[in-house]
Amino acid sequence: MAEKLTNVVNLPSPHGGTLVERILQADPREYEHLPALELDAQGYADLELIATGVYSPLQGFMGEADYQRVLEEMRLSNGLPWSIPITLAVSRSQAALYRQRVRLVWHGRTVGLLEVEERYQPDKRQEALAIYRTADPAHPGVAALLARGEVYLAGGVYLLHLDRGPFPEHHHTPRETRQIFAQRGWKTVVAFQTRNPIHRAHEYLHKVALEQLDGLFLNPLVGATKSDDIPASVRMQAYKVLLEHYYPKERVLLGVYPAAMRYAGPREAVLHAISRKNYGCTHFIVGRDHAGVGQYYGPYEAQEIFSAFEPEEIGIQIVKFEHSFYCQACHAIVTPRTCPHDSKHHLVLSGTRVRELLRAGAPLPAEFTRPEVAAVLRSAYQAEALERR
């Protein structure tokens, strides 16, 4: 169930050349006789991303040959660049129960099928060190890896029905985004990944890119994140008010990225770039500490990792930005490349500090975020505080 795409308006071909589409549109009751495997949030997200082609050329959860080569060389067994193993974990006792065809269940509903072709036991310490560069269980990605089952099941998958979730008007498949880009006549499209509300420094990156490129695909991640990250519903509301007031509507598409966050820093930046190529984007913004957490990665390692590949292998142009911030002496958003002033003039708020201000009901500086966005965030935190009382 994969089909070659006509490469209209010079959008990049999907990774590997073919857009994978594995959605059956079938009645789940037809498969109630099959053994059930309950997915976790990451497993369900990966199922959808495989089935809709965001993870092209993958057609299922990885077998051991692909898994090992991804860990060791950031390539699939056929040599195609790939940075993070996409696997389905079960307990050792469960693994023996799953043979041939299995129905995949999410929150009690049958959502997909797995054709079991292989089962293998990974070395999770090796995986953690390769993907996260640490085996520290305080790292949220490592903690999630260690909490999953000891055996990986591999094989092709099918999604029975695409559930567009809480943001249906913004939940686009790669086939749909490619059609939208073509209809708008965009020959160049820059994607931006975020798991946080957009602040003024992000806006600066977008608008610099839009000075040279046709369209912006604002593609926030809305799958599972850390408990202290701002909820997706609040972030989406903030994006909408920002786009309404400060962006040219005809040059921006807001579309959710339904992946779970792995916090794998440089390796995850590569996966994010490949995913956006599959959506049809020609460019991808990678800024400071992309997909990072804590102090596990250097500030620009997520940019440097792309030098491990030839540009044509990745197939999407990486737009690299240095850290941007508001300079009170320049009275503008700048980067170290354009600002002559020392750090005492720079307004930089950490996510932790932003949350502290919101919980205290204090205003966010207008130099940091637009007032409409600040109002959305403040309202959400006030509602959360009322619920806790």
Rounded CA separation 257/386 (Å): 30
Active site residue 219: no
Rounded CA separation 173/256 (Å): 10
Rounded CA separation 106/324 (Å): 40
Tokens of 375: 């109002």
Identify the active-site residue in 69, 195, 262, 276: 195
Identify the active-site residue in 133, 164, 196, 288: 196
Rg, the chain, Cα only: 21
Active site residue 196: yes
Q: How are beta strands 252-254 and 215-218 bridged, if at all?
A: parallel
Is residue 347 classed exposed, middle or buried when 0-12, 13-18 and 19+ CB atoms within 10 A define those classes?
Answer: middle
What are the catalytic residues? 195-196
